[in-house]
Structure 1
């Protein structure tokens, strides 16, 4: 019996639609990408297939929602050759190296260098001048003590984590969600996102790179991005702080939501990792399709785990890069399986009801 490397779960309305009609590219209206740093390497094969084949003949525009690594992945879409751009990002990210004890300034500087090579000015113009792929990035605007740079920022993080542990909406006392959106998008599918204070800013040539850098600016790891043009003044940090894997109302999406994810759980915010009762499920997302690696896939990886940021400290550069490249190559197994299921209509039998 062939091994399944991919698990496909769907909320009730998406599950019924796939059972009755299969899955076509035109049925999907929103593509979602989560925070998670190097965890995304196992999804790069799926990205190559989705960017280069699955959505290639799609009619009409496709909305994209990403935070941190998810937003960086999706910045390949809208470029002239999205597959080549995705592979470039993968190569640049996977081969990053630092000194023995890198500080915030060094890590931030390396991120800026990567961004400049991955998204040159030409690519910004390409993305903003087309409207087939409409980007939406979430960035956290800091309030109060969370806007402080340096080690004193820890107090703001601890206080906001404590508040979040009581009520997630109290996170809004420390951060605002700012949605940077493609100029062609009215962002109407986000209009009910009022769990925490939410603002909007239109992407432009003046703020594109700063907004993308900001959505991946992990607290205490990278510097925050100050005063992004076209957005409220302030310090901006990783969008995963407020929306790590998302816990948002997708009922405003006119179609299915496709969510390739590296984890079997969907964790709402950065501070919710250890709060087990806070998990998003298909009962809350009836129109969402969640694609995740199976345990068999994870067990087959080197070290029996998906890559993560701790690999920088645990492995030397050569071992880490080799491991990450192996994860990318193995991720193609999931892409091949998803392609087969869609092409042969096996997807009707493979989809599980996500409750």
Structure 2
């Protein structure tokens, strides 16, 4: 039977694994992409990774994510990460909305979802002995500086931002800045030296901003309300971190360790607005050293073909299933349940890496 996973390796990662194998102690960074319900397919890997494999070799690790990726990484920093990941998958799957809904309703629902996941134990996320959580958000500037809460301004601002991004990703930097909420024990030094066109701000995570940072990181424009004036951060309007860092094309090569990236696809798209621009995909040796130490694991095409509707869960399912919430929940729950096969395949591969099964960037 075909493997349920595909594996792609950067050049440095391949050389290191060929010489030394792959141990949990090698993993320094774990990224987690935005992508909404697509992230549910990684639940099996998440529970194995944080509940079994990584604890075998405790060390300081950076967990960095945007949107649902930030929520997944927060779950990984709980004292009981397996229970936290199960809560996240359950409550995310069981979101339901009426046929007509406004951004305020969605925002209340998602805030409630996050409260269920945190379960009054957010202090565990901030005090994990080894894991250092990094939550990426996008702060509006220029036309988007004061657009939050006024729908026509928000829509006009994002139309203008999208038009600029279509010409050049650097033009998007005139509409938004990256704000990284980070564990105060890790100053985010690997990201402080500028690596792209976006200005970046660094804000320490604390009890007073954890919830708002996580909510802002998943606040899709026009779907959720923007989060304003987060405690400790520059004043302004905050949206989904995936707008800038959709699939986290970050300067991973600055860390001497390896980067293990469970992902829902086998490539990396820098920003959410780049999804329809295939030439924006991150490359390997052809010019971007950022992928040199990357181990990217994703569902294989044959695995996806066996899922309900022959695809990953996605945000369009809310429209596809409409008010048949039970059918959507059933199919998403099935996808989560079979995601354990991906974890089993990855566990076998890390035990005895077969580099012939892994392609290169």
Same fold (TM over 0.5): yes
SS in 2 for 1:145: helix
| In structure 2, distance between residues paired with 1:11 and 1:140 | 28
Aligned counterpart for 1:272 among listed residues 271, 274, 284: 274
In structure 2, the residue matched to 1:170 is 171
SS in 2 for 1:49: helix
| In structure 2, distance between residues paired with 1:193 and 1:43 | 30
In structure 2, the residue matched to 1:291 is 297
Structure 1: segments with no counterpart, 5+ residues: none
| In structure 2, distance between residues paired with 1:164 and 1:338 | 36
Cα drift, residue 282 of structure 1: 2.9
SS in 1 for 2:334: helix
Cα drift, residue 348 of structure 1: 3.7
Cα drift, residue 214 of structure 1: 0.4
CA contact (8 A) 2:226 2:238 kept: yes
| In structure 2, distance between residues paired with 1:244 and 1:207 | 22
Cα drift, residue 19 of structure 1: 1.8
SS in 2 for 1:8: strand
In structure 1, the residue matched to 2:208 is 206
Cα drift, residue 16 of structure 1: 1.2
In structure 2, the residue matched to 1:181 is 182
CA contact (8 A) 1:282 1:288 kept: no
In structure 2, the residue matched to 1:301 is 307
| In structure 1, distance between residues paired with 2:345 and 2:213 | 34
| In structure 2, distance between residues paired with 1:221 and 1:249 | 30
CA contact (8 A) 2:17 2:353 kept: no
SS in 2 for 1:76: helix
In structure 2, the residue matched to 1:262 is 264
In structure 2, the residue matched to 1:36 is 35
Deviations 1:159-192 (A, max 9, x none): 1111111221111110010011001112111123
Q: CA RMSD in A?
A: 1.2
SS in 2 for 1:99: coil
Deviates more, 1:302-311 or 1:125-134: 125-134
In structure 1, the residue matched to 2:359 is 352
In structure 2, the residue matched to 1:237 is 239
In structure 2, the residue matched to 1:327 is 335
Deviates more, 1:227-236 or 1:249-258: 249-258
**Is 1:99 paired with 2:98?**
yes
Aligned counterpart for 1:127 among listed residues 105, 125, 128: 125
With over 3 angstroms needed to count, the CA separation of the structure-2 counterparts of 1:240 and 1:219, relative to structure 1, is same
Deviations 1:246-302 (A, max 9, x none): 222222222011111101221110111111110013332111111011110111111
Cα drift, residue 81 of structure 1: 0.5
In structure 1, the residue matched to 2:142 is 144
Count matched residues: 351
With over 3 angstroms needed to count, the CA separation of the structure-2 counterparts of 1:163 and 1:259, relative to structure 1, is same
In structure 1, the residue matched to 2:192 is 191
In structure 1, the residue matched to 2:10 is 11
SS in 2 for 1:334: helix
CA contact (8 A) 1:188 1:252 kept: no
CA contact (8 A) 1:23 1:347 kept: no
Given the two structures, how large is their TM-score scaled by the length of structure 1? 0.96
Runs of 4+ in 1 over 3 A off after TM superposition: 346-349
| In structure 1, distance between residues paired with 2:239 and 2:327 | 30
CA contact (8 A) 2:65 2:248 kept: no
Structure 2: segments with no counterpart, 5+ residues: none
Cα drift, residue 235 of structure 1: 0.6
SS in 2 for 1:201: strand
Aligned counterpart for 1:216 among listed residues 215, 218, 224: 218
Cα drift, residue 91 of structure 1: 0.3
